């Protein structure tokens, strides 16, 4: 199973990568939405985990772009962010996000959420 991580924080990317690789996933990480779109040309994820607020292209715009592409139209996409208010979550759902995880999080919760949304 392949997972793409999209987050502008190198610390978060490395933390997620370690958890996911230890659990047997292949991981590709990107620093923002534009980087993710570029890497998707070479990496075929089963799920994408993205931050909401990032430079150049944030998570909402990334999800909207992914939902418009035939290859990523139905791909599970999770937001992993510090923002959990109802308005932000509504925007996430409207953009096409599959689910939401709040930072801080623990490895067990992350892995449970991934298993729940994977086909």
pLDDT band per the 50, 70, 90 thresholds, residue 104 = confident
> Hey, which CATH number is domain 2-117, 3.40.50.300, 3.40.605.10, 3.30.360.10, 3.40.50.2300?
3.40.50.2300
Task: Order the strands of the 26-30 sheet from edge to edge.
Answer: 26-30, 2-6, 47-50, 77-81, 99-102
Helices 86-95 and 59-67 cross at an angle (nearest 10°) of 30
Domain locations in the chain as residue ranges: 2-117
Dihedrals phi, psi of 71, to nearest 5 degrees: -75, -30
pLDDT band per the 50, 70, 90 thresholds, residue 118 = confident
Per residue in 39-93, pLDDT (tens digit) is 999 999 999 999 998 999 999 999 999 999 888 999 999 998 887 778 887 888 8
Q: What beta strand segments (E) does 7-119 contain? A: 26-30, 47-50, 77-81, 99-102
């Amino acid at each position: 199973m392949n997972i793409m991580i999209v987050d502008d924080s190198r610390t978060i990317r490395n933390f997620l990568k370690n958890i996911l690789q230890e659990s047997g996933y292949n991981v590709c990480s990107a620093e923002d939405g534009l980087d993710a779109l570029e890497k998707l040309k070479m990496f075929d994820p089963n799920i994408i985990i993205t931050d909401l607020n990032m430079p150049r292209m944030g998570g909402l715009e990334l999800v909207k772009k992914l939902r418009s592409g035939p290859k990523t139209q139905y791909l599970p996409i999770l937001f992993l962010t510090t923002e959990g208010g109802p308005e932000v979550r509504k925007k996430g759902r409207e953009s096409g996000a599959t689910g939401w995880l709040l930072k801080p999080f623990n490895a067990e919760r992350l892995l449970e959420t991934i298993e729940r949304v994977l086909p």
